[in-house]
Structure 1
């Protein structure tokens, strides 16, 4: 059996909600041994919808189930002296610690990087927070939409005559989790070469801002401010309704676009007109162009158009429903969705590997853990606490 890429890497996971758990999920799914430290009441994500069969149960959150595959769960009250003692004993034998508390929390618990480094000089500590460990916003609270807004990305999303928009769900959190996993592995590479650990400081605001790229460059070099795009109906990149849904009929943009090829492909001789032959002309006559295109595409099958367009090397896309995504032949050919059996959820399909590795592939070794399911193994057997001591710790709400 092939050894996972991160076999032997030991990670202490003090994260909750989304950004931190996604970081440690990426590490766990490629073979790291990740021990998730939860408060006795559990990671708040256990109470985040959607729930299996709409039952609000801490073992039935579908979000938690996805974010915590291949992890072990230990409950520990870090506000207790004994809880801190147990955690520090785990730090001694760990390569990495990941946390996403507010910046003041870990120091208030006596778990700042300098203290933990004295216990384990080789420790890589990754801290994910809204705005980073320094700066005037360090202790400000934020939600995903706030990160989009303050990161600058929201300014360019949406129509220019309407309010700015953000992507659905929690994309800033997932982006920060991805950045954190990458940064952790870089720090680990340095650790393996030198034996030295370090603090990795990930700002969710900065994770969003990295997506600005040309927006920042344009402003820096020319003073130009990119605005949200006009929403005129003649925009060739505009989503169009089809007979069976929606598609994005993008024939390509720029000087390389051959308008005659577009006209022939669509079979619309009325577009062979000087009103539409150049980008400037199409902009002037956008509303008329949009009317013609809308009337044409509403009669078309989106998948027929999609496949035919790629024969011409156009960049068409299809708006797929969840059902269509699950049946997509590209996903199926790459075995992207995988079945995972969970004790409370049964067998469910999950998104699989975010990328493929030929020698050390992604692997599902276990479903998300139930709350505290590994207390006996880790706190008991590995750290040497007796069953009686575990019972007492549970009675004192330490675990």
Structure 2
């Protein structure tokens, strides 16, 4: 598997910008073989090199994952020479990926019209808080703001508490996924026309795309979805339930036939025929009552006992996983879901594999996040034909 050609090999991405929105898109493309050249400010680099609560050997634990498979070059885009070198790199690229505030590239003379004049096949993936048009386009936008504007913050949490965040940077990462999809769609179109185009994706719109029937529910029913905690209103039973060990156990038995199997596992088969619980609508109307009934049963057993009974009766169920459970789970191991990659500063570091799996041309991780400017000599030498003496001059002049 590891020796197979990766599907995006031969494609070059110049990545500009920082943090997660945008750079995660670069990670996704790099994971499948694209050559991703990440441009970072000299001496500083992407702030993600410093982010995270924990460090190992003085290094961020976030950076090895987010920047894996990428090449790092330093370049001062605020300098005229730096912008000139960036344009030369872009002339050789299939994609330009950026997540600056809208208008920044135009200010630097790197608008799409200018760039496509010398590289008509260029695909520019533009990730931003509000998009490249509209009255908000010039406002600064972070993932948390896009999550709030896109609707996910309002419905996340419990009804008696203020809205909360999900626990990961979902807005940033989701926007990067849409950026990757858009870039590959544009690549397919280019294969037919030879022409590139701009992919414009905003954080708030990427979040909004997940919001199911939120808009028509308000349009036709006047309903605004509210926070519901661990349940989906009127869909029961589907919740977390206590165990005798104090851990919570998730059971999703909301379909009629699956509910019947749960009742058999509980040794209460009559519940499946009880008019109060026999149908989807009936269970939804008595959701709280039904959850309490199931909780009174689950709390008598350990999570291992519950899992065994649910598996035997064909009921979807499982633990709420943390990394501890992930690393011990035989299914994770069988599918190579978590891999171990060598890192110069940390030794071997474990991280999530490349998804999805492709049967003939899978992705993979060749190296972890690089040191700042690690590929200056290689990239500038091979692509821009800059020799060692010139590189030293550029470095001493603050360009790289």
TM over 0.5: yes
CA gap of 1:330–1:340, structure 2 versus 1, over 3 A, is same
Distance 1:351 1:155 in 2: 29
User: Which residue does the alignment assign to 2:29?
Assistant: 27
User: Which residue does the alignment assign to 1:149?
Assistant: 148
Distance 1:328 1:15 in 2: 37
User: Which residue does the alignment assign to 2:188?
Assistant: 189
Distance 1:368 1:231 in 2: 36
State the SS of the aligned residue for 1:48.
coil
**Structure 1 segment 247-326 matched on structure 2, within 5 A:** 247-253=249-255, 256=256, 261-267=261-267, 277=277, 289-326=290-327
Distance 2:88 2:272 in 1: 75
Distance 1:248 1:344 in 2: 39
User: Which residue does the alignment assign to 2:213?
Assistant: 214
Give the CA deviation at 1:286: 6.1
Equivalenced residue count is 393
Q: Which moved more, 1:284-293 or 1:112-121?
A: 284-293
State the SS of the aligned residue for 1:350.
strand
Distance 2:121 2:105 in 1: 18
* Pairing 1:397–2:367 present: no
Give the CA deviation at 1:289: 4.7
Distance 1:138 1:358 in 2: 41
CA gap of 1:283–1:126, structure 2 versus 1, over 3 A, is closer
Distance 2:393 2:230 in 1: 65
Q: TM-score, normalised by structure 1?
A: 0.90
State the SS of the aligned residue for 1:36.
strand
Give CA-to-partner distance per residue, 1:145-177, whole Å, 9 cap, x none: 322211012232223333223311201111111
Distance 1:365 1:143 in 2: 30
CA gap of 1:398–1:294, structure 2 versus 1, over 3 A, is same
Give CA-to-partner distance per residue, 1:103-146, whole Å, 9 cap, x none: 12111111111111112111101110011111122122233332
Say whether the 8 Å CA contact 1:144–1:172 is kept in structure 2: yes
Distance 1:231 1:250 in 2: 12
* Pairing 1:48–2:51 present: yes
State the SS of the aligned residue for 2:154.
helix
Say whether the 8 Å CA contact 1:303–1:318 is kept in structure 2: no
CA gap of 1:273–1:31, structure 2 versus 1, over 3 A, is closer
Q: TM-score, normalised by structure 2?
A: 0.90
**RMSD (Å), alpha carbons:** 2.6
State the SS of the aligned residue for 2:238.
coil
Distance 2:284 2:81 in 1: 69
Q: Which moved more, 1:261-270 or 1:239-248?
A: 261-270
Say whether the 8 Å CA contact 2:150–2:204 is kept in structure 1: yes
Structure 1: gaps (5+ residues): none
Q: 1:9 aligns with which of 8, 11, 29?
A: 11
**Structure 1 segment 103-122 matched on structure 2, within 5 A:** 103-122=102-121
Say whether the 8 Å CA contact 1:73–1:370 is kept in structure 2: yes
CA gap of 1:98–1:218, structure 2 versus 1, over 3 A, is same
CA gap of 1:259–1:384, structure 2 versus 1, over 3 A, is closer
Structure 2: gaps (5+ residues): none
State the SS of the aligned residue for 2:296.
helix
CA gap of 1:261–1:124, structure 2 versus 1, over 3 A, is closer
State the SS of the aligned residue for 1:249.
strand
Distance 1:360 1:284 in 2: 49
Distance 2:388 2:263 in 1: 77
**Structure 1 segment 95-110 matched on structure 2, within 5 A:** 95-110=94-109
Say whether the 8 Å CA contact 1:14–1:36 is kept in structure 2: yes
Distance 2:313 2:254 in 1: 11
Say whether the 8 Å CA contact 1:50–1:63 is kept in structure 2: no
CA gap of 1:108–1:154, structure 2 versus 1, over 3 A, is same
